[in-house]
Homo-oligomer: A and B are copies of this chain.
Amino acid sequence: MNGVEALLFDTFGTLVDWRTSLIDDLTAFGDERGLRVEWPAFVDAWRNAQKPAFARIARGEEPWANFDAINRVTFDALAAEHGFATVLDEAARTWCVDRWHRLRPWPDTVRGLERLRARYILGTLSNGSFRLLVDLARCAPLPMDLIFSAESFGRYKRDPEVYRGAARLLAIPPERIMMVAAHNDDLQAAAAQGMRTAFILRPTEYGPQQTTNLAADAGIDVAVTSVEELADRLGA
């Protein structure tokens, strides 16, 4: 990829295994409290509520809310639906929503980022809240030079202004920036702003029955199965 100077990474699914991390943490949390909850279904519903919330904000039907605020509203609704809302106090709810700040990386993530960082400027470009991404970068850890959050721009991906705003602050033309994601729609939105694109296959991000994002769309510049393979392909 001649001329690429910076790589911007989607985070949930691309760098961290949100589903397994949350199921593990919440299962332990529930077991301690004797809660009988179908945690995989709970976590899938939690994740699935995010995109519609972003869309309502994008259409102006709801005011801006950051990722943590959206997750808190959904958590409270799901806790009520699953019949355990009454047994959780404020501290317990905060702890559960904060699990999104403590997600674990895929096995190839940290080593791959370390290699890439020696050669490229690395940043997040994620719908996660700014603080969440700082916490993830410290804890996972995710070796990054900078944190871009949707919150920095007051809009969620796939709004073009998120990709444009990142390129503007980096002072790098979009064709010398590569967006890296496990999701074709994110990469299409980046490509529409002139960025290069790399697809990382994460076939179990959404669980064993995943049916989407199992292959890169036509036109994606690079398709790999790990961050380490991306480092190989980019000569890092």
The residues of A with any CB-CB pair to B shorter than 8 Å are: 68, 121, 129-131, 134, 137-138, 145-147, 149, 151-152, 169-172
B121 and A169 form a contact (CB under 8 A): no
Give 7 A-B contacts (CB < 8 Å), ordered by A residue: A68-B171, A121-B134, A138-B145, A145-B147, A146-B146, A149-B169, A152-B169
Partner of A152, one of B137, B138, B152, B172: B152
Copies of this protein, total: 2
Contacts known (A147-B147, A152-B152); A170 close to B121, Cβ less than 8 A = no
Q: Which residues of chain B have C-beta atoms less than 8 A from A129's C-beta? A: 171
Closest to A169 in B: B130
Q: Which residues of chain B have C-beta atoms less than 8 A from A134's C-beta? A: 121, 145-146, 170
B170 and A131 form a contact (CB under 8 A): yes
Contacts known (A145-B138, A147-B146, A152-B152); A130 close to B170, Cβ less than 8 A = yes
State A172–B129 Cα separation when bound (angstroms): 13
Closest to A121 in B: B134
State A170–B66 Cα separation when bound (angstroms): 12
